[in-house]
Amino acid sequence: MNPTAKSFPELALEYIRKQSLIEKGDHVLAAVSGGPDSVALLGVLTGLKYALAIGRLTIIHFDHRLRGKESDEDREFVRDLARFAGLPFHCAQADVSGYARSRKISLEMAARECRRSFFFRTASELKAEKIALGHTADDQAEEVLLRIFRGTGPAGIQAMSPSTRDGIIRPLLFATRSQIVEYLRQSGREFRTDSTNLDPSCQRNFLRLKVFPLLREAFTPQISRTITRCADLAREEESWWETRVRSLWENLCLERDIGWCALDFEHLRGLHPALLRRVLRFGIGTVRGNLSGMGLVHLEPLLELVSAGKRGKKIDIVGDVEAVERGGRLVIRQKSSSAPQEWFEEKLLLEAPGSYDFGLFRFELLAGEPFFIPDSGGECIRMDREKLRWPLQLRFRKPGDRFQPLGMSGTKKLQDFFTDCRVPREERGRVPLLCDNEKICWVAGMRMDDRVKVDSQTQQILTVRVSGPFPKAGRK
């Protein structure tokens, strides 16, 4: 052994600091199953507790109830580790098999969901800032290949992150399994062996038991590190892309609310395919709250819809999420959401004065100049009828809309007008617009266009009255 080589705990300390995984005073939950990786994780965290200024360290263990007596023995083994280390111990169990059947998901996915639920519930109850998991470089390499085989896109190659926004940290992601085993041997630490890890019928086990030994023999013994470097590079690339997507999002996203968002369809069509994929993924993630179970195969029909400019087409994406183009908007929504139905209304032509219902609004158009108009609680304007280019139409906003607000000499983006008037973003698509063949004549309930105002030369007046659910702010 090279006397100048760094010890395993020193390498771990270096990695944890480089990745900023633990902050001074953090309460860290160490997820310990009893296997070699999690036992090594516990050894590292207990040994580095003072060097990292960890505030509190707690051991947590989840019993999947999948291996009978073995599971019971694992639990008691971890309990003894906690007792020996003088650390608090929290455990829970669940019927993972029953959960998988009820949700119609794989046993592996069910175990993951049940386990994560316990982790985050415990973190909340104990007010812990971090949840430490024992994933290694070998786990990362396996995850990268699994995702590639399942058809992931570039973003999926980054696989597991050293840390996540919800407090998950992976302090051993730098280490190979052989390093873990050597550390345990040198420190005299015992661990448990999960018999299910020896079953090659599981895809991950097949990679671990069958594929990776061949890769190490055919390419390099350090194949896990090689693949892990690809994941690290992909993570750096995706970090840049995420910044780019977020910078575009405010202009691309016309409106959003819980369970839906509306994107500027023409703006999307002008994006480079690499950027378009990421924007659409971001939109789906915004609507669903996550991208679990979504691969490139789910994204391709949506990419085709946008690239081909397919108007009015609706497609299913993943789960209960669908997308549809309506009125210059790409609406991504959960089917159970309350996305505004106005987007699915056709424009309403107004051939002559009269009464018209449009969505939740009622419009009355009166020719001439009546001496008295009863106040119905709505909004009323007067326009120079000869300045209008008939037929008129009622519609909702679309990308690129501009008009000339009364009193202004030039035009203004409708989006900027709403911003200035502090109209909530989620309500902007619900403001009806009265238009003629050339322009927006009235942002109903708010501002008339200067080009249709009544002046000293006016001979015919069109009076328009509207009532309906206007935005909470900005009525002028």
| pLDDT reading at 42 higher than 90 | yes
Helices vs. strands in the chain: H and E counts, helices first? 14, 21
The answer to whether 343 and 331 are in contact (CB under 8 A) is yes
Provide the H-helix boundaries in 27-106: 36-47, 69-85, 96-103
**pLDDT by residue (tens digit) across 201-211?**
888 899 999 99
What's the number of domains the chain is made of? 3
Same domain, 363 and 285: no
Q: List residues bridging with 382 in a β-sheet.
A: 463
Same domain, 221 and 266: no
Rounded to whole angstroms, how far apart are CA atoms 363 and 434? 10
pLDDT at 3: 56
* CATH code of the domain containing 105: 3.40.50.620
How many C-beta neighbours within 10 Å does residue 28 have? 23
Same domain, 158 and 81: yes
Rounded to whole angstroms, how far apart are CA atoms 118 and 180? 26
Alpha carbon 91 to chain centroid, angstroms: 30
**pLDDT by residue (tens digit) across 429-450?**
778 999 999 999 999 989 999 9
Last residue of a domain, one of 339, 364, 386: 339
pLDDT at 375: 39
Of 2-11, 97-106, 302-311, 367-376, the range with the lowest mean pLDDT is 367-376
Q: Does 1 reside within a domain?
A: no
Of 258-262, 312-316, 438-442, the range with the lowest mean pLDDT is 312-316
Same domain, 69 and 197: yes
Mean pLDDT, residues 159-163: 94
Same domain, 92 and 183: yes
* CATH code of the domain containing 424: 3.50.40.10
Same domain, 43 and 156: yes
pLDDT at 73: 94
β-strands 361-367, 354-358 pairing: antiparallel
Contacts with 323 (C-beta within 8 Å, 6 or more apart), sequence order? 302, 305, 314, 315, 317, 330, 331, 332, 333
Q: Which two structure tokens, joined as six digits, stand for 243?
A: 């910044």
* CATH code of the domain containing 335: 3.30.465.60
Domain that holds residue 383: 345-467
pLDDT at 476: 43
Rounded to whole angstroms, how far apart are CA atoms 142 and 140? 5
Same domain, 454 and 432: yes
Same domain, 326 and 188: no
Q: Does 156 reside within a domain?
A: yes
Last residue of a domain, one of 231, 248, 279: 231
Average pLDDT, the chain: 88
pLDDT at 372: 43
pLDDT band of 471, cuts 50, 70, 90: low
Same domain, 388 and 443: yes
Among 342, 328, 331, 344, residue whose Cα is nearest residue 267: 328
Share of the chain above pLDDT 90, in %: 57
Instruction: Name the DSSP letter for residue 209.
Output: I
pLDDT at 371: 44
Same domain, 288 and 418: no
Same domain, 349 and 298: no
Sheet containing 392-395: which strands, arranged edge to edge?
Answer: 348-350, 392-395, 433-435, 440-443, 447-448
| pLDDT reading at 118 higher than 80 | yes
Last residue of a domain, one of 304, 339, 374: 339
Instruction: Name the DSSP letter for residue 6.
Output: P
Mean pLDDT, residues 178-201: 90
| pLDDT reading at 334 higher than 70 | yes
Same domain, 437 and 323: no
Q: Does 238 reside within a domain?
A: no
Q: Does 353 reside within a domain?
A: yes
